[in-house]
Amino acid sequence: MDFFDQFPVMEQQELRDFKKGIDLAFRTFARTYGDAIESFFEPLLFFLVWLEKLLINSPWPMIILVLAGLAWIASRSILLVIGTIISFLMIGYFGMWKDTMSTVAIITVATLVCLAAGIPMGIIMARSNRAQATLLPVLDMMQTIPSFVYLIPILMLLGIGKVPGLIAVCIYAIPPIIRLTNLGIREVDKEALEAIDSFGATTWQRLTKVQIPLALPTIFAGVNQTIMMALAMVVIASMIGVRGLGVPILRAISNQYLALGLMNGLAIVALAIIFDRISQHYGKRIQKHREGRNL
């Protein structure tokens, strides 16, 4: 009867040794390959530092002008342009300019890294059912595992700073772009594919001329989601030494500074809304353009 009342649990000493074994194995791994991995990411760090310095050191009216210009090119909506200008003016006026620029830098680089890695992965997933079957649970894990759990190995491997922060952000932010690239390509009309096949297109032509263009609106929804999730990770990234809007929020949390936390939190919201609208409008415009051609 004991068997049913007491869960057959691993012996305590064995469990302890088991955990210690895992820790030790990872420590050895980190000690052996830490430097190599660090130098692998060096170009990324260089780019990130360069972009952050560029954003911080450029005159602020220029940055606002560039951002407003981007908003206009992407959306052609005067309302969004005005909203962008007002938000950044307020962010600057309340003394959050430097932190915001740091955050914009890391979000930009994180998004680029996620797209560069995520879109090819999405394409592979769309082409092979086996790849999809293996990657899906991994993506589920990346999205649900508490971020504090993977912060520890990242810290052991890369220490504190921008690159580990970037990796933590990407682990959380990359799944949507992979998922939606996969989905977009799989949803392309069979007729369109039959048509291009009948013209004797190569696999590459089939991908770049039909599948990706037709999947672009869905892929853009993925880009948009990736940006949003990267912004959501700003505070977590600050816990391992990434400068930006997350740092004052952490300070506000441990000291119960209501106003400080709220202001920096709202700055993140403002960034999120601006990036979201810009990428959404851009996605919609691509769609409209295509619909126009179809008519």
Q: Which residues here bind another protein, judged by CB under 8 A? A: 16, 19-20, 27, 30-31, 34-35, 45, 49, 148, 151-152, 155-163, 238-243, 246-248, 250-255
d(CA 147, CA 151): 6
Q: Which is nearer to another protein, 27 or 284 (CB)?
A: 27
Amino acid letter for position 287:
Q
Cβ closest to another protein, residue 35 vs residue 187? 35
Q: Which is nearer to another protein, 19 or 76 (CB)?
A: 19
Least Å from the CB of residue 251 to another protein: 4
Q: How far is the CB of 91 from another protein (least distance, A)?
A: 19
Task: Report d(CA 178, CA 215) in Å as an integer.
Answer: 13
Nearer to another protein, 91 or 252 (CB): 252
Among candidates 38, 173, 28, which has minimal Cα distance to 106?
173
Cα dihedral across residues 223, 227, 233, 238: positive or negative = positive
Q: Where are the beta strands (DSSP E) in the chain?
A: none
3-state SS assignment for residue 38: helix
Shortest distance, position 156 Cβ to another protein, whole Å: 6
**In this structure, what are the phi and psi dihedrals at residue 73, rounded to the nearest 5 degrees?**
-60, -45
Kindly tell me which of 33 and 133 has the beta carbon lying closer to another protein.
Answer: 33
Shortest spacing between CB 11 and another protein, in angstroms: 14
- In this complex, which beta carbon is closest to another protein, that of residue 215 or of residue 252? 252
Question: What is the number of other CB atoms lying within 10 angstroms of the CB of residue 204?
Answer: 8
CA distances from 29 to 24, 25, 148 (A): 8, 6, 20
> Least CB distance from residue 117 to another protein, whole Å?
22
Question: Tokens 């092979």 map to which residue?
Answer: 128
The answer to whether residues 292 and 286 touch, using CB atoms and an 8 Å cutoff, is no
| Smallest separation, CB 272 to another protein (Å) | 21
